[in-house]
């Protein structure tokens, strides 16, 4: 997937499926299932690190998470959130941090929150060849300014500003724009007014695509159920059942049993099963013995 293909999907009327992703194993599953865009969201601050807000996560932490997602992505475009403080101070710093994120993680694009206020930073990044995804509406890095996570742009003034901001981001060359928690009618209006695809979350279904936080849509966060969220699975229950059975099996000594392949001792590298230890070690050991005896032989000859 490329940013050009994402734009073409809007023109072709093909909806764009984006999900957040924070690690190799799950990113591989999402990629294999055919997700178009993997977003290494700064929601990692909440669902991975357990913080109340997205604000504490750092550029280094985002790069660490993005590396695993990039290694897994064979098909999907990987977009990384620029964390709070990494693009607001100056345009130079914004470009420097975006360059670091792309160079060190191997991701395809960055996303950042805000409209006119961050336009100079966005323009500099795009001039530097960095694909940028915008984010308007409920921008969680501004939670302290908003005073909560409620619906945005309900009043005309904020709705007018959002429409204007979307047009500015579009003109600046953003390849897509996330619209979070705004009225569906406004999201539809923005979607018609811009050439960049819009990706909605809690913004109705007239947008060009949808994004959800993976842990929320998989039902891993049982305590979090905003109105717009659909649980596509109930993984918290699955995990609880599996772990309860594991604990019981350990406590009553039924695990491991004769059927469990402990003797084969699988070696796992990068999430894949490799050769059993024994067959891996035998040629390796014979190579060391052979090599060592050759060196002894050379020393004796000298």
> What minimum distance in Å lies between the beta carbon of 135 and ligand KIV?
6
Report the distance separating Cα 1 and Cα 259, nearest Å: 43
Q: Minimum CB separation from ligand KIV for residue 41, in Å?
A: 3
Tell which positions 73-92 bind ligand KIV, by CB under 6 A. Answer: 81
Residue facing ligand KIV at closest CB distance: 41
For helices 119-127 and 156-172, angle between their N-to-C axes, nearest 10 degrees: 20
Q: Does 42 bind ligand KIV (CB under 6 A)?
A: yes
Among residues 6, 62, 178, 182, the one that binds ligand KIV under rule CB under 6 A: 178
The residue within the footprint of ligand KIV, chosen from 20, 191, 198, 207 (CB under 6 A), is: 20
116, 171, 180, 238: the catalytic one is 180
Catalytic: 259? no
Shortest reach from residue 118's CB to ligand KIV, in Å:
15
**Interface residues for ligand KIV in 198-257 (CB under 6 A)?**
201, 211, 213
Minimum separation from the CB atom of position 258 to ligand KIV (A):
46
The whole-angstrom separation of Cα 99 and Cα 270 is 26
Q: At what angle do helices 59-72 and 24-33 cross, to 10 degrees?
A: 50
How far apart are the C-alpha atoms of 206 and 199, rounded to whole Å? 10
Question: Should residue 118 be labelled a site residue for ligand KIV when binding is judged by CB under 6 A?
Answer: no
CA atoms 84, 90, 93, 95: torsion sign: positive
Instruction: Count other Cβ atoms within 10 Å, centred on residue 116.
Output: 12
Instruction: Using CB under 6 A, count the residues that bind ligand KIV.
Output: 10
Among 16, 21, 41, 174, binds ligand KIV (CB under 6 A): 41
* DSSP letter for each residue of 127-183: HTT--EEEEEES-GGGHHHHTSSPPP--SHHHHHHHHHHHHHHHHHT-SEEEEES--
Binding site for ligand KIV (CB under 6 A): 20, 41-43, 81, 178, 180, 201, 211, 213
* Active-site amino acid positions: 180
């Amino acid at each position: 997937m490329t940013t050009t293909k994402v734009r073409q999907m809007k023109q072709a009327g093909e909806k764009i499926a984006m999900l957040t992703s924070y690690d190799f194993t799950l990113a591989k599953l999402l990629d294999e299932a055919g997700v178009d865009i993997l977003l290494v969201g700064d929601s990692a601050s909440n669902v991975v690190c357990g913080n109340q807000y997205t604000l504490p996560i750092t550029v280094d932490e985002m790069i660490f998470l993005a590396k695993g997602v990039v290694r897994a992505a064979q098909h999907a475009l990987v977009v990384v959130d620029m964390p709070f403080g990494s693009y607001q101070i100056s345009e130079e710093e914004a470009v420097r941090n975006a360059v670091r994120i792309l160079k060190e993680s191997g991701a395809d694009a960055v996303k950042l929150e805000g409209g006119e206020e961050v336009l100079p930073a966005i323009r500099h990044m795009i001039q530097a060849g960095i694909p940028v995804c915008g984010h308007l509406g409920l921008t969680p890095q501004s939670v302290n300014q908003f005073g909560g996570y409620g619906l945005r742009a309900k009043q005309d003034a904020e709705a007018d500003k959002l429409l204007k901001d979307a047009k500015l981001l579009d003109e600046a060359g953003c390849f897509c724009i996330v619209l979070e928690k705004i009225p569906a009618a406004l999201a539809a209006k923005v979607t018609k007014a811009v050439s960049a695809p819009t990706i909605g979350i809690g913004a109705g279904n007239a947008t060009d695509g949808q994004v959800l936080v993976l842990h929320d849509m998989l039902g891993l966060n049982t305590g979090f159920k905003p109105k717009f969220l659909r649980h596509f699975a109930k993984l918290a229950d699955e995990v609880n059942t599996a772990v309860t059975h594991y604990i019981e099996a350990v406590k009553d000594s039924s695990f491991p049993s004769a059927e469990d392949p402990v003797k084969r001792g699988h070696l796992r590298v990068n999430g894949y099963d490799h050769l059993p230890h024994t067959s891996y070690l035998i040629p390796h050991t014979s190579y060391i013995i052979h090599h060592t005896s050759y060196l002894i032989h050379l020393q004796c000859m000298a």
